[in-house]
Amino acid sequence: MAYTITQTCCQDASCIAVCPVNCIHPAPGEPDFGTTDALYIDPRTCIDCGACADECPVDAVVPEDTLTDRQRIYAEQARAYYRGRTAEPAWGEPEIPPSLPHGAGTLRVAVVGSGPAACYTAQELLQCTGAEVTMIERLPVPGGLLRYGVAPDHPDTKKLGERHETLFRHPNLSMFLNVEVGTHVTHEELAAHHHAVVYAVGAAAPRRLGIPGEDLPGSIPAPRFVAWYNGHPDVPAAEVDLDGVRRAVVVGNGNVALDVARLLACDPEPLSRTDIADHALAALRRTRVREVVLLGRRGPLDAAFTWPELHALTQLPGISVELAEHPEPAGALAARPERADRVAGAELLRGLPVAGDAQPAEGSVRILLRFSTAPAELLGDERVTGLRTAAGDVIDAELVVSAIGYRGTPLPGLPFDEDRGTVPHREGRVLDPGSGQPLPGAYTVGWIKRGPDGGIGANRLDAKETAASLIGDAGAGVLPEPVGSAKDFARLLRRRRPDALTGREAAAIDRAERARGAAADRPRVKFVTVEQLLAASRKRVMV
């Protein structure tokens, strides 16, 4: 019996590397890698060895004969993906990890950030070179997107963090948390104490709608809404007010939009067994949302969500997922061959009921998908009361969440591409905008490098590229030699930032949050302010 990859696939391609029969695709280097909504195991070739299941960091790979009726779609879609493809695809070229020449000395690298891109980069450097890595994080806790970006009802995705916890204990990795580059230490100072500096700071700023009324109370960008329910210290508990919200509009239809809609619509009680922020759980328990409308500016074939996330949404009890109008006809798929990876999503949409004028059934919440609808104005005086579309329709709503994407913000001391919201680079090497040449010792990885595209797993291959560039430059002898030692850098930070934390204090916070969680039958109960986190790091809080 073959194995099947299910909803939580992170696409980091670690399963592909261990498959002895090359039956997991698309693989890195293949034309459609990074364009499909998941990786797929060829059931014709799979030998049922289970290596991929053991390697998968998010437990997405399971034997096909254990699938429930609701999960059957994953096996069906795998068969559909391989229909018309050979059962014996060509093996790619063997991958030889980069390395430093003998006698090159110990490489010292600073990695700014502690999310998935930062961790994948640090892992690559430690494995390939034995480098000494200094990880610097603005917040008092590491984790980045895994801690503050993944929805609380996606615990399997959060399992990626377990591998990172092992990384944080590596003897060649030192951590300095609650330290902001540009405020407490400059890029120049980082460069003076390290051979190279890698920026993995993500892209947390929201893209704006650019319409009247966008700044009214009751209008919030999805990045801040997500940070709010995940307990991010930058977003106060009182920033989101759900009291009196009967209908919410989410502008956008990517996976983040589905996350927002799902958390607004679902029964909050199952969330009480997750790591959702306590203030968010309390607010969701008080509110009585009856309908969430998702607005997509373009048609169904251009929807940004992945089909596994849409399928999972349709399976939730107490939620009715409906269409505002009939989707594009089946023939439209043939006219859009470049969107062939959207077939599964389009088929799911065609199977949804089309909503009428009736209100949702008592006891259920409706999520209404509305395509080809652009917002023109948010209505209201003291707070949002509705949204006017470009066609002139008015949708009454007490909450509007704009989920139209993220963008990076400028970093002190580095060039920045304002149009793309990224640091200009070539294969991870930061480029001088004047000469177009790499800035010696400066690198970038993750969303700040490529833009907010791809899920968590996409950062793994991105990190490989940046690390290979850095290691290649080190081997070529083009990296500047640091003038200060690691001890000099630690003394500098202690002087500049007495409240800086290390990996030891981060571990104390983790233990305290887990202890709070164990008392409440939850994985953890987060501290949600900097003050609480600092107190926990010093073991001055009651669990």
Read off the pLDDT band of 94 (50, 70, 90): confident
Mean pLDDT value across residues 173-179 = 98
In the predicted structure, residue 418 carries a pLDDT above the cut 90? yes
Q: Tell me the torsion sign for CA atoms 9, 2, 163, 457.
A: negative
Q: Write out the CATH class of domain 206-405.
A: alpha beta
Return the pLDDT at 357: 62
Q: Write out the CATH class of domain 3-82.
A: alpha beta
* DSSP string across 54-72: HH-TT--EEEGGG--GGGH
Return the pLDDT at 346: 76
Q: What percent of the chain has pLDDT over 90?
A: 78
Return the pLDDT at 333: 52
Q: Which residue has the higher pLDDT, 298 or 333?
A: 298
3-state secondary structure string, 485-501? CHHHHHHHHHHHCCCCE
Query: Comparing 56-70, 163-177, 355-369, 432-446, which segment has the lowest mean pLDDT?
Result: 355-369
Average pLDDT over the chain, rounded to an integer: 92
In the predicted structure, residue 503 carries a pLDDT above the cut 60? yes
In the predicted structure, residue 335 carries a pLDDT above the cut 60? no
Mean pLDDT value across residues 384-409 = 97
Closest CA to 249 of 269, 220, 223: 220
Domain boundaries defined on the chain: 3-82, 108-204+408-501, 206-405
DSSP state of 299: -
Mean pLDDT value across residues 3-19 = 92
Return the pLDDT at 180: 97
Q: Does 206-405 match 3-82 at the fold level?
A: no
Q: How far is CA 154 from the centre of its chain?
A: 12
Residue with tokens 């023109």: 376
In the predicted structure, residue 543 carries a pLDDT above the cut 50? no
In the predicted structure, residue 350 carries a pLDDT above the cut 90? no
In the predicted structure, residue 238 carries a pLDDT above the cut 60? yes
Helix or strand or coil: residue 205?
Answer: strand
Closest CA to 372 of 303, 287, 317: 303
In the chain, the largest separation of any two C-alpha atoms, in whole Å, equals 75
Q: Where are the alpha helices (DSSP H) in 175-330?
A: 187-193, 222-229, 255-265, 268-271, 278-286, 307-314
Query: Comparing 76-80, 200-204, 257-261, 326-330, which segment has the lowest mean pLDDT?
Result: 326-330
At the fourth CATH level, which superfamily is domain 108-204+408-501? NAD(P)-binding Rossmann-like Domain (3.40.50.720)
- The structure's pTM equals 0.94
Tens-place pLDDT, residues 305-318: 999 999 999 999 99
How many angstroms separate the first and last alpha carbons of the chain?
A: 47
Q: Nearest 5 degrees, angle CA 276-CA 538-CA 141? A: 40
Residue 366 φ/ψ region, left for φ over 0, alpha for ψ in the -120 to 50 degree band, beta for the rest: beta
- The amino acid at residue 65 is D
In the predicted structure, residue 542 carries a pLDDT above the cut 60? no
In the predicted structure, residue 195 carries a pLDDT above the cut 50? yes
